[in-house]
Amino acid sequence: MNLKGKVALVTGGSRGIGRAVSVRLAGAGAFVIVNFARNEEAARETLRLIGEAGGDGKIARFDVSDDRESTDAIAALIKEKGRIDILVNNAGESRDGLLVRMKDRDWDRVIDTNLKGAFHCCRAVAYTMMKQRGGRIVNVSSVVALSGNAGQANYSASKAGLVGLTKSLARELAPRAICVNAVAPGLIDTDMTSAMTEEQRETVLAGIPLSRLGTPDDVAGVVLFLASDEAGYITGQVIGVNGGLYM
Ligand code: NAP
């Protein structure tokens, strides 16, 4: 897949799935803007890996949940690069807890980052993509958007919200040849899932037909495809990347 001449923005590109996506897009020729919120050292490591893959990019700090900060940062990046072709809304966090103990601040934080953050970034790139008459938006949802998960009311609601956002924007932006899709990863081996106990992992593994956790690269390959010209007739879809955990 050839992304030469394209400019991509990957939110949360400093670690995990976002890092793998950044490296894959850059390896295919895109100039990749690696967004992060706090962890500059990790973002620099992503940039180093991009260089190792023969690609080019830069890092950009902004908090996607902050409307002004993300909108201004994206406007400045588009001005600098002159275009934006690919947006991957990957930045995300989880603050798990059972409903009766869930605090409003944990609900709000997860919705603000995972769902409202994606809305901010989509809105910030839409006008330029519309003028260009083309673009790709890939939202990183989750298997729990479709299956639900006890203890993740806030997280699964945010990820289900992303599915609605994806389908609505797919319809709204289709006349300008902008494709909007989502990937719904299952259990992927990253910092986000590292807090799981061995017992919890074993329980989930027992329900995965392919009998292994996913890797960030498993997800990145699908995002690369959705970002490419080859996926020009795919929009409004949610692609599961979950080893068969949910069918
Ligand atoms: P991760 O390793 O915890 O990385 C999270 C990334 O998001 C980091 O780059 C972090 O930046 C960034 N981030 C968090 N809050 C942000 C904010 N407000 N503004 C900008 N960036 C922010 O997570 P991951 O496992 O790779 O997950 C990536 C995405 O996949 C998330 O949306 C997650 O919900 C989704 N997902 C993950 C799994 C899984 O099993 N791992 C499954 C399904 C879906 P800093 O480095 O600066 O903190």
- Whether the Cβ atoms of residue 25 and residue 227 lie closer than 8 Å to each other: yes
- Average model confidence (pLDDT) for the chain? 97
Mean pLDDT over 20-35 rounds to 98
Q: Which of 195, 219, 232, 241 minimizes the C-alpha distance to 94?
A: 195
Residue from 9, 10, 15, 106 to probe ligand 1 pocket by mutation (most atoms less than 8 Å from CB) = 15
- Surface-to-core class of residue 81, CB atoms within 10 Å of its CB (0-12 exposed, 13-18 middle, 19+ buried): middle
How does residue 178 score in pLDDT terms, banded at 50, 70 and 90? very high
CA–CA separation, 32 and 25 (whole Å): 7
Mean pLDDT over 67-94 rounds to 98
Beta-carbon count within 10 A of 21 CB? 33
Q: Please tell me what DSSP assigns to residue 236.
A: S
**CA angle at 124 for the pair 226 and 139, rounded to the nearest 5°:** 30
- Surface-to-core class of residue 57, CB atoms within 10 Å of its CB (0-12 exposed, 13-18 middle, 19+ buried): buried
pLDDT in tens, 200-241: 889 999 999 999 999 999 999 999 999 999 999 999 999 999
Dist. CA 174 → ligand 1 center (Å): 28
pLDDT of residue 195 exceeding 90: no
Q: Please tell me what DSSP assigns to residue 22.
A: H
Told to judge if 155 belongs to the known catalytic residues of this protein, a careful annotator would answer yes
Residue from 63, 90, 215, 241 to probe ligand 1 pocket by mutation (most atoms less than 8 Å from CB) = 90
CA–CA separation, 81 and 196 (whole Å): 40
Ligand 1: which residues within 6 Å by Cβ? 11-12, 14-18, 35-39, 42, 63-65, 90-93, 113-114, 117, 140, 142, 185, 187-188, 190-193
- Whether the Cβ atoms of residue 42 and residue 14 lie closer than 8 Å to each other: yes
How does residue 196 score in pLDDT terms, banded at 50, 70 and 90? confident
Sequence-distant (6+) residues with CB within 8 A of 161 are 111, 114, 115
pLDDT at 200: 87
Q: Which of 152, 156, 142 minimizes the C-alpha distance to 245?
A: 142
pLDDT of residue 37 exceeding 90: yes
E strands, 64-155, in order: 86-89, 135-140
How does residue 154 score in pLDDT terms, banded at 50, 70 and 90? very high
**CA angle at 38 for the pair 224 and 187, rounded to the nearest 5°:** 45
pLDDT at 180: 99
Q: Containing H/E element for 159? A: helix 153-173
pLDDT at 43: 98
Q: Please tell me what DSSP assigns to residue 30.
A: -
Match 């719904």 to its residue by tokens.
184
Dist. CA 16 → ligand 1 center (Å): 7
pLDDT at 123: 98
